[in-house]
Every structure is written in C-alpha cells, then in structure tokens.
Amino acid sequence: MATRSERKISFLGNFPPRQCGIATFTRDIRQAVADQRPDWSTPVLSVTDPGFRYDYPDVVRFELPEGNLSSYQRAADFINLSHTDLLCI
C-alpha cells in the first residue's frame, strides 16, 4: 500500500478551458485537494467536446473525447496503470 506522500487522487470530468459548470467544479475541487495535500498527486482526466481541441494546463494528463467509447476504456487503463488511490468523478 502507498504511503501518505505517495497518494494519488485522479479527477475525471470536464475541465477549463472548456466552459461549463462541471469544468469549473472539477477545477475547484482538484485545486482544493491540491492546496490541502500538496504532497499528493492530483492529475485530471478531462472529457473534451467532439471535434474540439483545448489548451489544457499541465494537470490534465489524459483527454477523453466525449462519446468515444474506446477512450473510456483507455482512461480506465490509464487510471489503473497510474496507481490511482481514489477517482473523483
């Protein structure tokens, strides 16, 4: 089991610059966790609009094109291989 300094909470949802309330919520909750636990890893898996490309910040480690079912399987593989302790959706 990972030590406290090795904890990883991944966040799955929309993320700015995509403009929607869920993107804002995901950004804010991820930032709140990162502020409280700077020793934890807090990567984001962001759902993107079909046909759009966003200039995401470095915290976004994986993009899932909305509606592309195979991207959700790849995201699950990414989460499992990256040793995520908790997934916040």
Tell whether the model's pLDDT for residue 5 goes beyond 60. no
Domain encompassing residue 19: 4-88
CATH at 9: 3.40.50.11930
Tell whether the model's pLDDT for residue 7 goes beyond 80. yes
Provide the number of structural domains found in the chain: 1
The pTM assigned to this predicted structure is 0.89
pLDDT tens track for 28-81: 999 999 999 999 999 999 999 988 889 999 999 999 999 999 999 999 999 999
Per residue, the 3-state secondary structure of the chain, as one string, reads CCCHHHCEEEEEECCCCCCCHHHHHHHHHHHHHHHHCCCCECCEEEEECCCCCCCCCCCEEEEEECCCHHHHHHHHHHHHHCCCCEEEC
Tell whether the model's pLDDT for residue 4 goes beyond 50. no
